Amino acid sequence: MKTLFRWMAMMVLVCGQEVLAKNESFVVAVSSQATKNYERAKAADGSPRRETYVLVNGGLFPGTARDASFDRVSYPDLAGIVAQQLARQNYFLSRTAQEADLLLVLHWGTTAPFGDASMNFQVQEAGDAMAALLSGGGTTLERLTRQFQIRSGEQRDAGGAEPALDTGAAESAMMTLLLNQRQREMLALRNARLLGYLDELNERDGISRWAGAGASFDDLWADLENARYYVVVGAYDFKAAREQRKLVLRWVTRMSIDAQGTSFDRRVAAMIASGGPFFGENSGGLKRRYRPDARVEMGELKTLEMGDTP
């Protein structure tokens, strides 16, 4: 926890401008949840009451990574983009750490993709081993020769029985295949928890999956097996974190896109803009929506606030 509070330093935010590109779009997945004990008070005009926060860099989640495109987006850059969307939901940077309502932790990175090349090799190996077992093993010429020898009595043992087949290779290949499949499922489920896919995945994995609605489940599973850029904003009660050294979650918003064929710096602004309206709210499940492509033109660096380090 002490390390967590050392992260609270001078906040330098960047004023940027989002510029939409033409004729390009991509799918953004957003999942947002607010805890039952978090409810924002309303102002006289019905808008959410103003709340203040301290924003810190949470870095990578375990088991995830970053590619070269992350080097083109600094933490102040990313913090500035997030701050713009937070302000639209009436969340503002605290003047001092003592006055903050929330501790916001920002994570971003890339999920680990499933290595299908290894899995395909294991499937092929298991299939070959099983085919060899069922056919008696060996090449076509060898199998024909063995069948002739068995029928002619040349390969019968002393008791007249046909020689037993060696099942060791097939059993070993099948065991390896099952272990790889288990690892594949565990990786996908870990990504599902990180990206907010788990509830939607469980909902789709029902009888409807086998009654013509399996494509939606397959689409979700494909997302989890591909590398995805993610940004996660978690909000915790600042008073509990400061005084009790305890992280009490208030809300969390998870945003992700397919990393294939694009770069993080190119689409991070549009990704966060898709998740911004759900900051502090429940999204009502996983939302997968098309978003026009965008880039960010970074403006002049401006120091907006300085918070004391507790």
Q: pLDDT 10s per residue in the chain (310 long)?
A: 444 444 443 343 444 444 444 446 789 999 999 999 998 888 888 888 999 999 999 999 998 999 999 999 999 999 999 999 999 999 999 988 788 999 999 999 999 887 654 445 444 554 555 555 555 555 544 554 555 555 555 555 445 554 444 556 656 666 766 777 777 888 889 999 999 999 998 888 877 777 766 688 888 989 999 999 999 999 999 999 999 999 999 999 999 999 999 999 999 999 999 999 999 999 999 999 887 665 545 555 454 444 444 3
Look at residues 223, 258, 283 and tell me which one is the last residue of a structural domain: 223
Domain count, the chain: 2
Do 35 and 105 have their domain in common?
yes
Pick from 193, 223, 253: which residue ends a domain? 223
One domain, residues 274 and 247: yes
Regarding whether 201 and 172 lie in a shared domain, the answer is yes
Same domain, 144 and 269: no
Q: How much is the pTM?
A: 0.71
Q: Are residues 213 and 265 in the same domain?
A: no
Note whether 105 and 7 are same-domain residues.
yes
Please indicate, yes or no, whether residues 100 and 126 belong to a single structural domain of this protein: no
**pLDDT in the model for residue 217:** 85
Question: So what's the pLDDT on residue 214?
Answer: 61
User: What does each C-alpha distance from 260 to 110, 136, 196, 263 come to in angstroms?
Assistant: 11, 44, 20, 8
Cα torsion angle, 208, 213, 216, 222, sign: positive
Regarding whether 238 and 183 lie in a shared domain, the answer is: no
| Domain end point (choices 223, 254, 275) | 223
284 with 199, same domain?
no
Q: Return the amino acid letter for 215.
A: A
Spell out the SS3 assignment of the chain.
CHHHHHCCCEEEEEEEEEEEEEEEEEEEEEEEEECCCCCCCECCCCCECCEEEEEEEEECCCCCECCHHHHHCCHHHHHHHHHHHHHHCCEEECCCHHHCCEEEEEEEEECCCCCHHHHHHHHHHHHHHHHHHHHCCCCHHHHHHHHHHHHHCCCCCCCCCCCCCCCHHHHHHHHHHHHHHHHHHHHHHHHHHHHCCHHHHHHHCCHHHHCCCHHHHHHHHHHHHCCEEEEEEEEEEHHHHHHCCCCCEEEEEEEEEECCCCCHHHHHHHHHHHHHHHCCCCCCCCEEEEEEEEEEEEEEEEEEEECCCC
Residue 293, pLDDT score? 60
Q: Which structural domain range is residue 37 located in?
A: 2-113+228-306
Same domain, 150 and 273: no
Structure tokens at 109: 């990175």
CA distance linking residue 221 with residue 258, whole number of Å: 13
| Cβ–Cβ < 8 Å for 21, 297 | no
What's the confidence (pLDDT) of residue 183?
A: 79
Report d(CA 33, CA 254) in Å as an integer. Answer: 9
The predicted pLDDT at position 309 comes to 42
How far apart are the C-alpha atoms of 309 and 209, rounded to whole Å? 52
Q: Which of 12, 42, 68, 39 is nearest to 302 (CA)?
A: 12
Q: Calculate the CA dihedral of residues 66, 115, 286, 26 and round it to 10 degrees.
A: 70
Residues 107 and 233 in one domain: yes
pLDDT confidence of residue 21 = 43
pLDDT for res 42: 85
Q: Are residues 88 and 143 in the same domain?
A: no
